[in-house]
Structure 1
């Protein structure tokens, strides 16, 4: 018997890779990543070992050609598609007084419009089935704010608004729409953007109730729950996974 299908964007590393690994026990997978690189190939090998049939789509999700390719892959599994995990994003830091509007627009494209495009892409399949899950990955910074990240935070805040709007619109069709707000999650990429990494970790642990770094698997566990039958009465929610950093 064929397994249901989950689409996970930004699945080549970090949080996306952990989500793909977690879902591979129950779903066949369509995975997206910006590049065809060793990171993606390692993820594909790992999830296939767990029994998941996989398809990879590489490219920039702000590019209509990539969305067209992804649409064709979804059309092949329309009768089995159950879950979208919209995770892909970018996190550049730019001071507000040097942030030009073109860069601001790019962040809206990457961290909001690309998520909307993926949600639109899967909506016909999910509503036709009368069942489905759309789960986005946002950031606790929508609640806290932070310097150098105005465009990113604005886009992620818009994403959370989109989640609430789609929960209203798609709920009557049996589709839940939720969001996971990630806290400070330890990923390899952080070393490239943080100068004194040891000091950064110390500051972060001081902010949190739970005195360890968040791991990609912490986010993946929350996504797995929201995708499960047990979460069928939960929609329009943003679940914060941050070790008790933000308590709004």
Structure 2
């Protein structure tokens, strides 16, 4: 039987990789990732072992050439496309006093405009099909704030606004638009950017109700649900996956 197709951006590692692997039980995949590296090859091997066909689109989604390549893959899969999980992003830590406007604009481009671009790509196919799911990955920091991440938080806050606006726009076509608001999720990259990792873990667990680190699979489970038929009456929402860090 022919499988439907899901797109997962930023799917080569961390949260995106976990989402792609989970969705591969039901969907063939279009996976975007920055580089053709060992992480991407691991994802492709895993999803193919689960029976999914997978196509990789390489490159930076802020580059129009990468968006054009993704658009061609969308066109090839128009009749089967059902899901977009828009996850790609970056979060360089820059103090507000050191943040210039060019860097601020770059973060808006990476963490907001690319999500809008991907949503624009899939909208014609989903509305024509009269069915679809768009899921964006946001951050609990939109609710909490944090030093050194002003541009990232501003972009993610805009993303959550975009989700609500698109829920209104696309709801009449039975296309739902939601986001997963991720908390502190343990990924390999954090070991390189946190000086005293053990102390950071202790501080984080003190903030949470659930006394363990969040894992990429925790976010993937939420994205998988919002991408499913079972979530058809849920739209314009942010599902917070943070172990009870932000109780609002």
Tell me the TM-score normalised to structure 1 length: 1.00
Q: Which residue of 2 aligns with 1:76?
A: 76
* SS of residue matched to 1:12: coil
Q: What is the number of equivalent residue pairs in this alignment? A: 248
Quote the residue 1:238 is aligned against: 238
1:25-57 superposed Cα distances (whole Å, 9 cap, x missing partner): 000000000011111011000100000000000
Could you list the runs of 5+ residues in structure 2 that have no partner in the other structure? Answer: none
- Corresponding residue for residue 12 of structure 2: 12
> Partner of 2:92: helix, strand, or coil?
coil
Partner of 2:183: 183
1:236 is paired with a residue of what secondary structure? coil
How far apart are 1:228 and its partner, in Å?
A: 1.0
- Structure 1 outlier segments of 4+, above 4 Å: none
- Give the structure 1 partner of residue 122 of structure 2: 122
Match of 1:98 in 2: 98
- The runs of 5 or more residues in structure 1 that have no matched partner are none
Alpha-carbon distance between aligned partners in 1 of 2:75 and 2:106, rounded to the nearest angstrom: 28
The normalised TM-score by structure 2 is: 1.00
The corresponding residue for 2:225 is 225
Q: Counterparts of 2:192 and 2:169 in 1: how far apart (Å)? A: 40
Matched, 1:147 2:136: no
Q: CA RMSD in A?
A: 0.4
The residue that corresponds to 2:22 in the other structure is: 22
Partner of 2:40: 40
SS of equivalent to 2:147: coil
**3-state DSSP class of the match of 2:83?**
strand
- Deviation at 1:229? 1.0
Q: CA offsets, 1:177-205, max 9 Å, x none?
A: 00000000000011121110000000000
CA–CA separation in structure 1 for the residues paired with 2:230 and 2:39: 32
